[in-house]
Amino acid sequence: MKLESPLRYDPGLVEEAVFLTVEGHPEAKRFHRERDQIYGIKHPEERERAFDDLHREWFLRLGLADQIEKAVSEQPLLSSGVKSCLVARAPGKHEEGAELFVNPEEKVSDKQRRTVSVFLRPESLLDPSALLTFLRHELMHIADMLDPGFGYEPELPHAEGGPTHDRLLKERYRVLWDATIDGRMVRRGWAPESLRAERLREFCRAFPMFGQKSESLFSRFFDREPHTHAELVAFILDPRAVMAIPDAPHPGSRCPLCGFPTYAFEPEPERLPDELIIRITRDFLSWRPSHGLCAQCADLYRAHQVSARAATHLPGSHP
C-alpha cells in the first residue's frame, strides 16, 4: 500500500524558486505569457489562487520538487509517522535544515501531533545534487527522532558546570550524531568517502582527550550501526568512563570546570588546600582532583579563598 505523501510547499518559496529557474529557460516566454493572463482576473482572492496554482504547476514541471520528494520517499517513517511536512523558505544559509515539531495535545494520535518543517533558500533548489545530499542528511536526523529504537529525547541532561558546559555537551552530541548519520550515508553511496575524514577532524576537535585513540573510537560511531540516543548521551557525559580511559587531562583538552580548551593545567591539583577542593566540589559535585582543572580556574578559586579570609578582618565581620 502506497502511503500518501505528507509534503506541502510554501507558496512564497515555490514562486521565488520558479522565477530563479525560469530565467533563461527555453520555456520562459510561455511561463510569462501564462502568468500575464492571470492579471485579467478581477477578483483579488481568485487571482491570488490562480498565481499559486500556476507557480506550483511550473515548480513541478521544472523538476524543482524532484529531489525533495526523493529524499522524503527514502524515509518511510516520515510518511507513516508525521501529519505533514512543510517545505518553507529559509531566510539564510544558516537557517536551512529540518525540524520536528510535536503538538502537546494528547487526545490525538502520535502521527497527528507531529509535523516536520524543511527550511530551504530558493537558490538551493537550483543545485539538485547538493540539495539531495543535504536533505538526506537532515531527514535522517528526523527519521532517528521518529524511530522508537533510537529513543530520542529532546533535552540533554544539564551539565554541572552551567551554560558553558551545556553548550559543550550539545556540540559533542551534534558531532557524534552527525558521524552516525554520515557513516550511513557513505555506506549507502549517498555521500563521498572523503566525508569520513571531515567528520574525524570534527570528532578530534570535540574530544581532544583521546589522542591516538581517536580513530578507533570515532570508528565506533561512523562505521557501525545501529546507535541509540542513550548511547550518545552516555559518551558525551563521561567519555573517559565509557571508554575506560584515565581521567588525567591532556594538553589541549577542555578544563572540566570552565569548559575551555587549555594547555595550562594546574600541575598538582591533588595538592590544592582541602578548603579549596571542598569549595570546588560544592560547585561541581562530580569533580575530583584527578580530573584536573586549568591554571586560570585554580587561580580564581585561590583568589576567592584569599578574599574570603580578608573579609573576616573587615569592621563588622563575624567569624
Q: Which residue has the cell 504547476?
A: 57
Q: What is the pTM of this model?
A: 0.76
Flag whether pLDDT at 310 surpasses 90. Answer: no
What tens digit of pLDDT does each residue of 202-241 get?
A: 999 999 888 888 999 999 999 999 999 999 999 998 886 6
Flag whether pLDDT at 17 surpasses 90. Answer: yes
Q: Which of 142-146, 238-242, 301-305 has the highest mean pLDDT?
A: 142-146
* The amino acid at 134: F
pLDDT at position 269 is: 87
Q: How confident is the model at residue 19 (pLDDT cuts 50, 70, 90)?
A: very high
3-state secondary structure the chain: CCCCCCEEECHHHHHHHHHHHHCCCCCHHHHHHHHHHHCCCCCHHHHHHHHHHHHHHHHHHCCCCHHHHHHHHCCHHHHHHCCEEEEEECCCHHHCEEEEEECCCCCCCHHHHEEEEEEECHHHHHCHHHHHHHHHHHHHHHHHHHCCCCCCCCCCCCCCCCHHHHHHHHHHHHHHHHHHHHHHHHHCCCCCCCHHHHHHHHHHHHCHHHHHHHHHHHHHHHCCCCCCHHHHHHHHHCHHHHHCCCCCCCCCCECCCCCCECCCECCCHHHCCHHHHHHHHHHCCCCCHHHCCEHHHHHHHHHHHHHHHHHCCCCCCCC
Which CATH architecture fits 7-146? 2-Layer Sandwich (3.30)
Average pLDDT, the chain: 89
pLDDT at position 44 is: 95
> What radius of gyration do the chain's Cα atoms show?
27
Contacts of 79 (CB under 8 A, 6+ apart): 3, 4, 5, 6, 72, 73
Spans of all domains in the chain: 7-146, 163-243, 248-319
**Assigned C-alpha cell, 24:** 533563461
